[in-house]
Amino acid sequence: MSKTNLIVFGTRPEAIKMAPLVQKFLKNKNFETKVCVTAQHREMLDQVLDFFEITPDFDLDLMRPNQNLYSLTATIIENMKSVLEEVNPDYVYVHGDTTTSMAVGIAAFYSGAKICHVEAGLRTFDRQYPFPEEFNRQLTGKIADYHFSPTELSKKNLLVENTKEENILVTGNTVIDALLYGIEKVNAKNFKDEEIENLKLLLNFQKKIILVTGHRRENHGDGLINICAALKTIAQNNPEVDIIYPVHLNPNVKGPVNELLSGIENIHLVAPLAYPAFIWLMEKSYLIITDSGGIQEEAPSLGKPVLVTRTTTERPEAVEEGTVILVGIDSNRIIEETDKLLNNIEYYNGMSMLHNPYGDGKATERIIKFIEAL
Ligand code: UD1
Ligand code: UDP
C-alpha cells in the first residue's frame, strides 16, 4: 500500500528549498503526495510556485499585511486541522525555521503523523538570534521524528540535544538541488524572462555589481539604518559600482529602505525578484551583501563572496571555508570589508572559491531513499 505524504511550506525560501522534493515525490509511485501552502508569504511565494510549476492541493491564504507572530502561529495551527484530517498523511514534511515550520510541526504532532524536518539541526544556541528562527528550529527539532541535516555539523548539533542518531540523515541542503535546476532552466536557449530583460536595461554590467538583500527581524530598526548608511557611503565613494537591492515586502524593511536609499544614482531599489531573475543576477554580481540564510548557501556555488550583516550564524561552514564573512551591523565594518573586496583583487580571488559546503544537488534523492526504506 502506498504511503501518503503531506509537504507543507509558506514562505519564499521554504518554497524554493522544498520544490525539488515536491517535484521528485510527485513522480514517485510509492507515495501519494499532497502539497499544502500556508501562504505566510503571498506574492513572494507565488513567484516560486510558478517557476517550479507547482500547484498546491491546499492554499490556506493566511498572509495579512504586517502580520504578527501571535496570530500567524495561531491561525496556522487552527487551519491545518482540516487539511490534516482530510489527507490523513503518514508523513508531514516541514522545512527549516519559519513560523510555518514550527506551527505546522505542532499541528502535525496533534494529528499523529510522522514529522520529517528538512534542513534540520542548524543552531546558534542563542534563542534570541536569529529571532524567532532559532526558537522555531529548536522546537521543530523536538517535534520531528526524522531529521534531514544539510551538513555533519548540523547533525552534531542534533546529537548534542540527544536526538537519536538513527533518525538523522546528512543529506546536503536541498537549496543546491533547486539552484542546479534553476540555473539550467534560466540558461536554456529558449528561456525568456521579462525581469531579466528589465535588469539588462537597468544595470550597467561594465560596472561591478553589488547585490544586497536584508530582512531579518533582529535587524529591523537600528541594524537596517546602519546597513543603509553603509550602502549610501559605498555608493557615493565608488561611482564605478552599481548597487542593486531587491527590497523585501515586509513593511518594516520596505519603509526604512525606501526612505533612506531612494534617489541615489547608483543604488537601484527594486521589488523582490522572482527566483530565476534573482539567480541570474547573483551570477552576474561581483559581491553580495545580505542577512539571508538561503543566499549564503547559494553564493559559494556561484563563486561569489558574501558579506553577512549579522553578528551570529547558524551557517558557519562557509565562514570557515572563507567565502563568507560575518560583518555584523556596524556601518564602518561593512564599508571597510566592501572596500577591500573592491580594491584588493588577491583578497577578492581568495574569497570567490567555487566550492560549496552545503550540498551537491542530491539532497532530495537521499531524503526520498531514507523514507522509502522506513
Ligand atoms: C519570514 C520568516 C523568516 C524568513 C523570511 C524569508 C517568520 C517569523 N519569518 O519573514 O524566517 O527568513 O520570511 O523571506 O517565519 N509580505 C508581503 N508579501 C509577501 C511576503 C511578505 O506583503 O509575499 C509582507 C506582509 O506585510 C507580511 C510581512 O511582509 O505581513 C511579514 O511577513 P512574515 O512572513 O511574517 O515575515 P518575514 O519578515 O517575511
Ligand atoms: N530570492 C529571490 N528573490 C529575491 C531575493 C531572494 O528569489 O529578490 C531567493 C534566494 O535565491 C534564496 C531565497 O530567496 O533562495 C532566500 O530567501 P530569503 O532571503 O527571503 O529568506 P532566508 O533564506 O533568509 O530565510
Number of H helices, E strands in the chain: 16, 13
Task: Please check the confidence at residue 1 and state whether its pLDDT lies above 80.
Answer: no
Q: How far apart are CA 138 and CA 163, in angstroms?
A: 11
The CA distance from 44 to 247, in Å, is: 11
| Superfamily (CATH) of domain 3-173+359-373 | Glycogen Phosphorylase B; (3.40.50.2000)
- The terminus-to-terminus CA distance of the chain in angstroms comes to 13
DSSP, res 219: G
Q: Give the amino acid at 260.
A: L
Is residue 217 among the annotated active site residues? yes
Name the residue at shortest CA distance from atom 15 of ligand 2: 294
**Sign of CA pseudo-dihedral 273, 250, 115, 75:** negative
Report how far ligand 2's centroid is from the alpha carbon of 295 (Å). Answer: 6
Read off the pLDDT band of 147 (50, 70, 90): very high
pTM score: 0.98
Name the active-site residue from 46, 59, 217, 360: 217
Q: How far is Cα 308 from Cα 325, in angstroms, rounded to an integer?
A: 6
The confidence score (pLDDT) of residue 182 equals: 97
What pLDDT, on a 0 to 100 scale, did the predictor assign at position 282?
Answer: 97
Q: Which ligand is nearest to the CA of 97?
A: 1
| Mutation probe of ligand 1 site: the residue of 98, 122, 135, 313 with most atoms within 8 A of C-beta | 98
C-alpha separations of 160 from 16, 63, 115, 121 in Å: 29, 35, 20, 10
Ligand positioned closest to the Cα atom of 211:
2
Helix residue ranges per DSSP H, 89-237:
99-111, 133-143, 152-160, 174-187, 194-202, 222-237
Q: For residue 345, count other CB atoms closer than 10 A to its CB.
A: 9
Ligand 2 site, residue 273, Cβ cutoff 6 A = yes
Q: State residue 119's pLDDT score.
A: 98
Exactly one of 14, 119, 314, 317 is catalytic; which is it?
119
Burial class (CB in 10 A: 0-12, 13-18, 19+), 288: buried
* 215 classed as catalytic: yes
- The residue written with cell numbers 509511485 in the block is 29
3-state DSSP call for residue 36? strand
Catalytic residue among 12, 95, 147, 215: 215
Average pLDDT, the chain: 97
Q: What is the mean pLDDT of residues 149-173?
A: 98
Active-site annotation holds for 339? no
Q: What distances in angstroms separate CA 6 from CA 24, 31, 37, 74, 327, one per listed residue? A: 13, 10, 10, 20, 39
329-368 confidence digits (pLDDT tens):
999 999 999 999 999 999 999 999 878 999 999 999 999 9
Rounded to a whole number of angstroms, the CA Rg of the chain reads 20
Backbone angles phi, psi at 365, to 5 degrees: -55, -45
CB 96 near ligand 2, within 6 Å:
no
Task: Identify whether 119 is a catalytic site residue.
Answer: yes
| pLDDT at residue 178, rounded to an integer | 98
- Tell me if 20 CB under 6 Å of ligand 2: no
Handedness of CA 156, 157, 162, 166 (dihedral sign): negative
* Confidence category of residue 256, pLDDT binned at 50, 70, 90: very high
Q: Is 41 a catalytic residue?
A: no
Ligand 1 neighbours, Cβ below 6 Å, are 11-13, 40-44, 63-67, 69, 72, 97-99, 132-133, 215, 249-251
Q: Is the shortest distance between the CB of 313 and ligand 2 below 6 Å?
A: no
* 333 carries an active-site annotation: no
Does ligand 2 lie within 6 Å of residue 292's CB atom?
yes
Indicate the top mutation candidate among 9, 11, 46 to test ligand 1's pocket, ranked by most ligand atoms within 8 A of CB.
11
Domain definitions of the chain by residue range: 3-173+359-373, 193-352
User: Which superfamily does 193-352 belong to?
Assistant: Glycogen Phosphorylase B; (3.40.50.2000)
- If phi > 0 it is left, if psi is from -120 to 50 it is alpha, else beta; for residue 327 that is alpha
pLDDT at 226: 98
Q: How far apart are CA 347 and CA 349, in angstroms?
A: 6
Give residue-wise pLDDT tens across range 262-305.
999 999 999 999 999 999 999 999 999 999 999 999 999 999 99
63 C-alpha to center of ligand 1: Å?
Answer: 8
